[in-house]
Amino acid sequence: MKEPVLANRAKAGTGQGSGAGDLSAAAATDILLAATGIAKSFSGVPALIDGRIELRRGSVHALCGGNGAGKSTFLGALMGLHKPDAGTIVRNGRVVRYSSPAEALADGIAIITQELSPVLDMTVAENIFLGREPRRGGWFVDRRRMIAESAALFARLHFDIDPRAQMRSLSVAQIQTIEIAKAIGRQSQILIMDEPTSAIGEREAEILFDAIRALQVHNVGIIYVSHRLTDIFSIADTYTVLRDGSFVETGKVADIDRQRLIQLIVGRSLGDRQPRPDRVRGNVILAAEGYTRAGVFEDISIEIGSGEIVGLYGLMGAGRSEFANALYGNAPKDAGELRIDGRLIKIRSPADALRHGMALVTEDRKETGLVLPASVAENITIAALGRFSRGSFINGRLEAAAVNAQIKRFGIRTPSREFLVCNLSGGNQQKVVFARCVETQPRILICDEPTRGIDEGTKYEIYAFLHAFAAAGNAVLLISSEIVEILANADRLVVLRRGRIAGTVAGATATQETLVHLAS
């Protein structure tokens, strides 16, 4: 087993597993990958303490865990993206230490993520052979062979896709099956799939599952990472649970039920919920009814009263951000009525929303929140310039005073008002986004993942701000995929699953288990 990749390449044509003459080693070679005691810290903060997994041929192994459980770090260590501080990885009976994903790929480990972006304007076959095109005469691409080999590959995997089709004409699930075929075409024995169903619908997911089952027949081992427990119970045969960076349990999916798995993922450490001042919910400020965009979110109705923080929880792809943006006039909707203070309001653009006292902290501050090449001051006042201008001229003194007040209020650490916002830390950038929203004097604040990627200290400052803002008689819609955050801050919780409301829970009685159960 010196050259596992080559050995497998010879066998790939027959689609058979380990050689028949090697009976004594059969049990051992059944294990494609075994990792034990993998640890990894980033600048002193441990992200993974004890990562373990044992992947067998033809198995779909679910890797489960909440946010911050260390799954991504673990996968990164397996595929050579991070160099582990401790632990061993054994691949086909051989201790390995990959220094790059390319090395892992050469050793038969492929990863498929949402970020993998195919070349949409090429054909399926061209994408399959991207970077290793068969040639004729050293210069010319052998198109016929490329198409023939792609077709043979699809036939072997029972994928029903035309290799000559344009990539752009395919659905997301089909594109993912192409990625799978690509990996198999490279003789990969191990496939890591990170949240493969987060962007696709239920029927689409079936296409993907069929593809995965086809791989099992070919003795490929699959590490399947998903927050969707439903997926795990329909496709995986084994599971491993990580929590807080450590291995918790592994076993057969057949031996466990949903409730038990949720308990393993969440753990029993629910004692860290802080007491929260009781707020009196006043009149309904915002009432959205029947918000629908076909295929994205359906029939969502939400009410937020004055003084209330309503949490909107759901997995990636559940339609949370899309709904929030539709509410704000930033994205289209097919149906839905909005009332503010009982009056029917039509919102067609963010400008309309701002005029009616709504403000939105978008999901991605760099992509949609900030004007990065502009200064702190310009970013803070950009949505409310009308308040600082006479005619069409900006009153510099008024503006500077307002900016200074915001910098002080949010404790934004910046050398000056004129400092470019792109040079601030993530937490300070997020505070600038909040300051910009506050400058518009909103009564309704929609926060989409407001603490993503920022440090703990800033997180608590933001929570404190949200509570103070609500306590002043305003309404907050808090969208988050962090259960702990949403439990600690929301008075009422609405859970979305695949674009629909799966349930509404009072903040005081909600638990991690109920949220996970409703969402997945």
Partner 1 sequence: MSDSSAKTAVRSTGIVSRQALARFASRNGIVIAFFIIAAILAVANEHFLSVVNLLNVGRQVSINGILAIGMTFVILTGGIDLSIGSTLAITGMVSASLVIGDSPYSPTVAVLAGIVTGIAFGAVNGVLIARFAVPAFVATLGMLSMARGATLLYSGGRPIPSLSEDFTWLGQGFVLGIPFPIIVFAVALVIAWVTLRFTVFGRWVYAVGGNAKSAKTSGIPTRTVIFSAYVIMGGLAGLAGPVLTARTSAALPQAGLGYELDAIAAVVIGGTSLAGGVGSLGFTLVGALIIGIISNGLDLMGVSSYYQQIIKGAIIIVAVLIDRSRNQNP
List of residues contacting partner 1 (CB under 8 A)? 328, 330, 349-351, 353-355, 360, 362, 367-374, 378, 382-383, 385-386, 389, 392-394, 396, 436, 440
* Cβ-based neighbours of 104, under 8 Å, separated by 6 or more: 78, 79, 80, 98
Complex with partner 1: residue 340 or 360, whichever CB lies closer: 360
Residue whose C-alpha is closest to residue 324's, from 427, 209, 450, 457: 450
Complex with partner 1: residue 58 or 350, whichever CB lies closer: 350
Give phi and psi for 285, each to the nearest 5: -95, -55
Secondary structure tally for the chain: helices H, strands E: 18, 24
Q: What is the rounded (10 degree) CA torsion for 153, 159, 163, 169? A: -150
Collapsed DSSP state (helix, strand, coil) of residue 219: coil
Token pair, residue 256, equals 């466990």
Least distance (Å) between residue 409 CB and partner 1: 19
Complex with partner 1: residue 322 or 378, whichever CB lies closer: 378
Residue whose C-alpha is closest to residue 328's, from 298, 364, 286: 286
Output the furthest CA–CA distance in the chain (Å, rounded).
Answer: 88
Which secondary structure element, helix H or strand E, spans residue 111, and what is its range?
Answer: strand 109-112
Complex with partner 1: residue 386 or 457, whichever CB lies closer: 386
Which secondary structure element, helix H or strand E, spans residue 51, and what is its range?
Answer: strand 45-56
Which secondary structure element, helix H or strand E, spans residue 448, and what is its range?
Answer: strand 444-448
Complex with partner 1: residue 389 or 514, whichever CB lies closer: 389
* 8 Å CB contact between 477 and 444: yes
What distances in angstroms separate CA 260 from CA 183, 229, 249, 371, 516, one per listed residue?
34, 11, 11, 46, 12
Rounded Cα gap, residues 223 and 390, in angstroms:
61
What distances in angstroms separate CA 409 from CA 201, 367, 370, 434, 508, one per listed residue?
43, 25, 19, 11, 30
Which secondary structure element, helix H or strand E, spans residue 514, and what is its range?
Answer: helix 512-519
Rounded Cα gap, residues 359 and 348, in angstroms:
14
Complex with partner 1: residue 160 or 418, whichever CB lies closer: 418
Rounded Cα gap, residues 256 and 458, in angstroms:
39
Least distance (Å) between residue 368 CB and partner 1: 4
Q: What is the rounded (10 degree) CA torsion for 341, 344, 349, 352? A: -50
Least distance (Å) between residue 353 CB and partner 1: 8
Complex with partner 1: residue 263 or 389, whichever CB lies closer: 389
Collapsed DSSP state (helix, strand, coil) of residue 275: coil
